[in-house]
Structures are given as C-alpha cells and as structure tokens.
Structure 1
Amino acid sequence: MTMCLFSTNIHFDYDGHYSKAGDDYEWISTDVSLYAISFKTSPLEEITYSLLKERICKKMRIDPLTKKLNLGYIPLVVEPKRQSYILDDEDVFVYPTSVDREQRRSILHVEDIQEL
C-alpha cells in the first residue's frame, strides 16, 4: 500500500502589525517580501503549532528560544474583517482549511513581538 503525500503551502508576511481601519482590521507590513514554506505530509493534522513556528523560524533564520512570535490571519470570509490568532494545533488545522469560494487562503501574518 502506497501512501499519497500532499503538499500544503503556506505564504506568510513577516514582521508587521494589525491596525483598526473603521470597522475592519488590516495588516500593516514592515517587510516588502512575502515568504513561503511547504509541508510535504500526509494528513493535514500532522502540521502542528510547534512545527509551524519551527519552520517559520528556520526560514527566517530566527532562534526560536530568543524570539516571541504571534501567528495570525484575517479570514477572507469574515465581515467586518478581524484578525484571528493561531494559538494551538486546532487553530493550525483551521487555518489551511479555511478558504473562500475561489479556494484562496488568507496570508499568514507573523508578528515579531519581542526578544525573550
């Protein structure tokens, strides 16, 4: 029996903050680049909160022991627009499975909060 591997690609914007604009919230980026990581895995449940943060730190060459990062996104299907933070494995599962009618996913926002 062969196992079918799937690829879950996540695009993220590193280092910015949320700002209220009328009734909506928007992401204000301080970096002009957009980054991506890819998980080549079988079930989506294997992408955990700690693995997601670890992969972002590796991509950005950040020591996870010295930085505090907040992960969040603005769901495409929520009005008014509000940020949704990723706090645990369940939130991680919801993020890549939440898509709009055209199967588009929100960009993951990575807030660099502070040095630990």
Structure 2
Amino acid sequence: MCLSTNIHFDYDGHYSKCGDDYEWIPTDARLYAISFRTSSLEEITYSLLKERISMKMVIDPFTRRLNLGYIPLAVEPKRQSYILDDEDVFVYQTSVDKEQRRSILHVEDIQELEII
C-alpha cells in the first residue's frame, strides 16, 4: 500500500519572541508544498526532506544550509522545535492536533560562507 504524505512549508523567514511565545516571521507570503508517496512514514528521512525542499526551491545544498523547524500545535507557551535528524522528522509528521492538522514546516535558508 502506498500512502501520500503532503508537507506544507514556509521558505525563508525567522523566529521571533513575542511575550512568552515564539512566532514565525516569513520573508515571503507564499506557502509551498511537497508530496511523498511511500509505504511508511519512516521512509521520509531528514536528508530526503532537505533534498526535496532544495530541489523544489532550486537551491544548491552545497552553498546553503537549511534549518528545518516548526511550532508544535499542542505546546504552550508556543516555541520553536528544530528538526535535526530522522527521529525529529517522524515526530513532526505524527504530531497533529485534535482536528488532525499538522504544523507548517519552517525552512530557514542560511547562506554558507564560501571558502576560497
């Protein structure tokens, strides 16, 4: 059985502290999406997720670093949670609220310094 997992993400922005909470401040007002057709959620790895985002946004992963994060819907006060490995990706995909909604993935685009 093949299942489809859709991930919506904001590309390029930053987190800002607002009182006790954190909020995401997008640079771009657009929302992007990628879809994975897999037999299980475990097949969507950290490296695959970053690769698909890089392909979608047409960026070179050798000159830019992507930080992936989200604000969990069930955590109060609101704060950012960064995705650092495969386990974090799985937790992100399976963390939903009562209406089965998942948080928007936030992608921070960090330009790396070139070594000459």
Considering the TM-score relative to the shorter chain, is it more than 0.5? yes
1:14 matches 2:11: yes
Code of the aligned partner of 1:12: F
- Kindly report the root-mean-square deviation, in angstroms, between the aligned alpha carbons of the 2 structures: 0.6
* TM-score (normalizing by structure 1): 0.96
Q: Equivalences for 1:67-82 in 2 at 5 Å?
A: 67-82=64-79
1:47 matches 2:14: no
Q: Would you identify which runs of 4 or more consecutive aligned residues in structure 1 move more than 6 Å? A: none
Which of 91, 94, 116 is the equivalent residue of 2:91? Answer: 94
Q: Which runs of 5+ in 2 are unaligned?
A: none
Distance in 1, Cα, partners of 2:64 & 2:55: 12
* TM-score (normalizing by structure 2): 0.96
Distance in 2, Cα, partners of 1:47 & 1:65: 21
Distance in 2, Cα, partners of 1:60 & 1:113: 14
Distance in 2, Cα, partners of 1:84 & 1:115: 22
Aligned-pair identity in percent equals: 84
Q: Which runs of 5+ in 1 are unaligned?
A: none
